[in-house]
Structure 1
Amino acid sequence: MGLLGILLGLGLLVWLAFRGWSVLLLAPAAALVAAAFAGEPLLAHWTQTFMGSAARFVASFFPLFLLGALFGKLMEDSGAVSTIAAWMTSRLGTRRAMLAVVLAGAAVTYGGVSLFVAIFVLVPMATALFREAGIPRRLMPAAVALGTSTFTMSAMPGTPAIQNAIPMPFFGTTPFAAPGLGLLASAIMLGFGLWWLGRREAAARRAGEGFGPGAEAPADAAVDDPLVRERAVVADGFDPAEIHRSRETTASPPILLAALPLVVVVAVNLVLSLLVLPRIDAYYLAEPRWGETSLAAVAGVWSVAVALAAAILVLVATSGARLPSLRASADAGANAAVLPVLSVASLVGFGAVVAAMPAFEAVRDWVLGIGGGPLVSLAAATNILAALTGSASGGLTIALDALAGTYLRLTAEQGIDPGLLHRVAVIGAGTLDSLPHNGAVVTLLAVCGCTHRDSYMDIVISSVVGALIALAAVIAVGGLAGSF
């Protein structure tokens, strides 16, 4: 009965989330279903297990959600994202429109701009560029997805994406875990995706297919769609409803000032992770007043948080005068972090209740029993949970909450670097999360004015298949050569 309850709770969560119900309601309800079938105390699991785990997630990662959303909104309203995208597209031109859209998305998201901020800025530019180049609109979602939600989310060393931060407290790693393998995976994802999109563009040109009919992408309609919002808040750290809560400047900054905050994010993150924090004597963290933790458990989050904060200060100092209202932009950015962090925390709470069920031991044994060793089973666990929840961050945290200790023990016995676990887990969570019900997919299609029928296959091939190939390569090379 316990296993049946877990399956029913998970099924309820997936089905109703797909229909647009709020995860804030669904996650505790699904957790209580699982607990009821196991004969466990319901209120205790809700207030102690569920809320305790959700609160720990918020305590650990809300600074990153807050600073990431604030940075993204300030970058948008200062005109910096638009300037970078326009500069990239003007340099590459209409002959390389596909590459321009992909690289523009990669540049801003690797620099710390939230996925949905990037989408709402990039899509109008991509629309104009694709129309001028005669590339079908239906290929636009795949191009934007490849640049914004693949290698810069899960593989590039040092990426400030929340998905790359989640494994750090579990494995004691930094944002630059397994940098060589991360670069290898990034090259595979980017190369495979561009190859596929190039083929599709060439085939469309041979068939005489142009951009196609239709008006500009209906971004405003997508923002106001409650279904889009409910699915989106578990996929990224930015609430789409806050996109238009403030105004973007009409006086965009020059390209050097626009790109400077992105450089600051990467540079400060690198210096803190590799040079500053490892030399700090943080013995005091072992005291009860600081949670009896260690520097290894918090250093990764600290480095990303300080990098984003430094970039925000630089942005305000260099381009703040261009903002129509600094307070309005800051308020919108702060508000945009709240619903996503609580939604993902609710998924984490659901996972904690499931992991506390006696029947979960059978699930854990099944996962660990997957052939190929701990790297393969870890990849499978994060893939499955990210796919079911429609959230890379939610699925990743659920998997690591339940299994990280076991994997650390297994890999210590086999001499596997925790950095390799980190990179496999993050890439694994960023593959099958892009199923049709994923919030980023739904939002992207809505903003581009496309349908699943028109564009989803190209998203799957360029983003999901490429990521799976990269994941397999990382596991194979890491298994043979170790982490590097």
Structure 2
Amino acid sequence: MLGITGIFVSLALLIFLAHRGWNVIFIAPICAGVAILFNLGDLPFFASYTQIFMPALGSYFATYFPLFMLGAVFGKLMDESGSARAIARRIVGWVGAQRAILAVVLACALLTYGGVSLFVVAFSVYPIAASLFREAHIPKRLIPAAIGLGSFTFTMVALPGTPSIQNAIPIPFFQTTIYAAPGMGVVASVFMFATGMFWLGRRARAARAQGEGYGEHPDAPAAADGRALPPFLVALLPILLVIVLNFVLSKYVIPAFDHSELATPRFRNVELKKVLAIWAIIGAMACAIVSIVVLNRHRIRDLVGALNQGTVGSLLPMANTASEVGYGAVIAALAAFAVVREGLRSVASDPVVSLWLVVTVLAAMTGSASGGMSLALGAMGEYYAHAARVAGIDPDIMHRIASMGSAAMDILPHNGAVITLLAICGLTHRQSYFDLFVVGSVTALAASVLVLGLYLTVGVF
């Protein structure tokens, strides 16, 4: 009992310190040490850090760093070239400024689905959103929720083909691709979008009925630097390349070559299907980056500076998530964790439901979709892959439900994306968190329950 208590004390401490602004890279090994102290005699303290924590951190870096780095560079170049703003403005022109909420959600959705970092999206779309919401007399406090609906939900975990890290993490465990379970993903995406828009529309109408407008806010969005924005099609082309090349490379180009050398000790006897999807994402993102540079060579004033900033900017989120993975590896090595794991696993006999529950709970505990899913799959990924094979369950279903579970309850106050988004918008948790939580987590939770219900009762997907 003391060991289990130590695990939850450790998690609570991790959440508390992260919420207070402590860097996860620093506190993750400390919190892991707290759990070890409650489990005296189970694991040696320093050996757990050097032989469990750090190898797990390094393995995560080795697998996913190219995705973080290329995604950050891609987003930075989309921002520097003006492509992100050009796409956002065109969408506003299509749907009309009077549909400010819809315009912001669609702009964020298109950008994030194309591979642009949600942080870059927030910085790029916020000035436009502030202007639209002010003109439409919609409360500014709803801007984070509108950006969150387009960035944190269906385009992050459900829509097939999204190159987000949350859609890539399950690939090595279930040997799938980013297009896993397209039917389930599309149904969930439509549900999240519809319910999120319904909620935001309802909140905007209620505010209008009470005479609440945009509010008094000292908005000072970054002024345009005078450079002409690229044409819409030029701005959109790199995003289309990411989507199309992901599919073509993973389905046709890469499998067409002989990869028999992978089955040798030199390449650690890896199977092609375990690395295929990662290779496809890397290739697609690299080609898209080149296309941005070529198409916008006169608009990007400091190419080297943009590349450097994007690369360096990828290190902190990468290291934060990798540290949480290292923390999870230490927790998973404790004997007490086996009791917790079996308890969570025994709640549901169906592997799909059980996996969703475990990922959802751990993502909520860590306040991170990628961190929680990495922790869950790192500890129990092999078990669930085996359970799916034994039960005859399509691994694509396991992939999609794990990805969706990571977003079901991750939008908690200590979530790093929540804190950053509110800072960009100049708002507080008290002003905007409730609506952000509803559209970011409640809709994702309901979408998961919907597709799980359809899967269990009707057998679709």
**TM-score normalized by the length of structure 1:** 0.91
Moved more, 70-79 or 337-346: 337-346
Q: Which residue of 2 aligns with 1:155?
A: 158
CA contact under 8 A between 2:359 and 2:406: conserved in structure 1? yes
Question: 1:265 — aligned with what?
Answer: 242
Aligned-partner Cα distance in 1 for 2:122–2:246: 24
Which residue in the other structure is 1:407 paired with?
384
What's the secondary structure of 1:430's corresponding residue? helix
Give the conservation status (yes or no) of the 8 Å contact 2:127–2:221: no
How far apart in 2 are the matches of 1:376 and 1:217? 46
Identify the match of residue 65 of structure 1 among 64, 68, 83: 68
1:281 aligns with 2:258: yes
Residues 24, 320 of structure 2: 8 Å contact kept: yes
- State the 1:482 CA deviation: 5.3
Aligned to 2:340: 363
Does structure 1 retain, via aligned residues, the 8 Å contact 2:409–2:442?
no
CA contact (8 A) 2:15 2:414 kept: no
Superposed displacement of residue 249, structure 1: 7.5
Give the whole-Å Cα distance in 2 for the aligned partners of 1:436 and 1:35. Answer: 27
* Deviation string, structure 1 residues 131-181 (Cα, Å, up to 9, x no partner): 111111111111110011110000010101011000001110100000111
1:83: which partner in 2? 86
Structure 1 consecutive aligned stretches of length 4 or more whose deviation exceeds 3 Å: 217-220, 277-281, 479-484
Q: Which amino acid aligns with 1:17?
A: A
Task: List per-residue Cα deviations over 1:216-243 (Å, max 9, x = no partner).
Answer: 16789xxxxxxxxxxxxxxxxxxxxxxx
Q: Distance in 2 between matches of 1:277 and 1:457?
A: 45
Cα distance in 2 between the residues matched to 1:297 and 1:58 = 16
CA contact (8 A) 1:68 1:112 kept: yes
Alpha-carbon spacing, 1:171–1:217, altered in 2? closer, same or farther (3 Å):
farther
* Counterpart position of 1:185: 188
| Native 8 Å contact 1:83 1:252 kept in 2 | yes
2:431 maps to what in 1? Answer: 454
> What amino acid is the match of 1:74?
L
The alignment partner of 1:146 has SS state of helix
Contact 1:417 1:482 in 2 (8 A): no
CA distance in 2 between counterparts of 1:277 and 1:464 reads: 36
CA distance 1:8–1:462, shift in 2 (3 Å): closer
* SS class of match (2:335): coil
1:364-383 matches, within 5 Å, as: 364-371=341-348, 373-383=350-360
Query: Which residue of structure 2 lines up, in the alignment, with residue 5 of structure 1?
Result: 6
Asked if the contact 1:78/1:248 (under 8 Å) is kept, the reply is no
Q: 1:63 to 1:444 in 2, by over 3 A?
A: same
Q: Aligned ranges for residues 94-109 of structure 1 at < 5 Å?
A: 94-109=97-112
Write the distance in 2 (CA, Å) between the matches of 1:433 and 1:101. 22
SS of residue matched to 1:7: helix
Please report how far the alpha carbon of residue 252 of structure 1 lies from its aligned counterpart in structure 2 after TM superposition. Answer: 1.5
Unmatched runs of 5 consecutive residues or more in structure 2: none
In structure 1, the partner of 2:126 is 123
Is the CA contact 1:390–1:438 (under 8 Å) kept in the aligned structure 2?
A: yes
Q: Conserved in 1, the CA contact under 8 Å of 2:19 and 2:413?
A: no
Alignment of 1:247-266 (within 5 A): 250-266=227-243
Gaps of at least 5 residues in structure 1 are: 221-246
| Aligned residue number for residue 223 of structure 1 | none
- Structure 1, 191-200 or 283-292: larger mean CA deviation: 283-292
1:195/1:372 CA distance change after superposition, 3 Å: farther
Note if contact 1:249-1:322 (Cα within 8 Å) is conserved in structure 2: no
Equivalent-residue separation in structure 2 for 1:83 and 1:309 (angstroms):
22
Match of 1:239 in 2: none
Residue-by-residue CA offset, 1:392-439 (whole Å, 9 max, x unaligned) = 111100000111111112221211111101100011101211011111
Q: C-alpha separation between the residues in 1 aligned to 2:199 and 2:410?
A: 20
Equivalent-residue separation in structure 2 for 1:386 and 1:8 (angstroms): 16
Percentage identity across paired residues of the two chains: 48
SS of residue in 1 equivalent to 2:216: coil
Shift of 1:4: 2.8
Residue pair 1:89, 1:97 contacting (<8 A) in 2 also: yes
Structure 2 counterparts to residues 137-156 of structure 1, below 5 A: 137-156=140-159
Deviates more, 1:435-444 or 1:348-357: 435-444
Compared CA separation, residues 219 and 475, structure 1 to 2 (3 A): farther
2:77 to 74, 79, 97: 74
Partner in structure 2 of residue 54 of structure 1:
57
User: Is it true that 1:209 corresponds to 2:186 in the alignment?
Assistant: no
**Range that drifts further, 372-381 or 346-355:** 372-381
- Give the drift of 1:443: 1.5
Kept in 1, the 8 Å contact 2:199–2:439? The answer is: yes
| 2:174–2:395 CA contact under 8 A, matched in 1 | yes
Alignment match, 1:230: none
Q: Structure 1: how far apart are the matches of 2:381 and 2:324?
A: 17
**Superposition RMSD on alpha carbons, in Å?**
1.7
2:35 corresponds in structure 1 to: 34
C-alpha distance 470-325 of structure 1, shift in aligned 2 (>3 A): same
Equivalent runs, 1:228-377 vs 2, <5 Å:
250-371=227-348, 373-377=350-354
1:218/1:449 contact within 8 Å kept: no
- Does structure 1 residue 175 correspond to structure 2 residue 178? yes
CA distance in 1, matches of 2:195, 2:453: 18
Query: Using the alignment, how far apart are the partners of 1:411 and 1:279 within structure 2?
Result: 28
Partners of 1:431 and 1:96 in 2: how far apart? 27
CA distance in 1, matches of 2:49, 2:386: 30
1:380 Cα deviation after fit = 1.4
Query: Comparing 6-15 with 410-419, which one deviates more in the overlay?
Result: 6-15
- In the TM superposition, residue 481 of structure 1 has moved relative to its aligned partner by 5.5
The alpha carbon displacement at 1:292 in A equals: 2.0
Deviation at 1:385, TM superposition (A): 1.1
Change (3 A) 1:275 1:248: farther
Distance 1:139 1:151 in 2: 19
Once the two structures are TM-superposed, the CA of residue 205 in structure 1 deviates from its matched residue by 1.9
- Alignment TM-score, normalising by the size of structure 2: 0.96
Equivalents in 2 of 1:56, 1:450: separation in Å?
37
Does the 8 A contact of 1:417 with 1:483 survive in 2? no
| Cα distance per residue 1:421-478 (max 9 Å; x no partner) | 1100011101211011111111212222222222222112222111111111221223
The count of residues paired between Structure 1 and Structure 2 equals 458
Report deviation, 1:33.
2.1
Question: CA separation in 2, counterparts of 1:41 and 1:437?
Answer: 30
Q: How far 1:16 moved relative to its partner? A: 1.0
Match of 1:132 among 129, 132, 135: 135
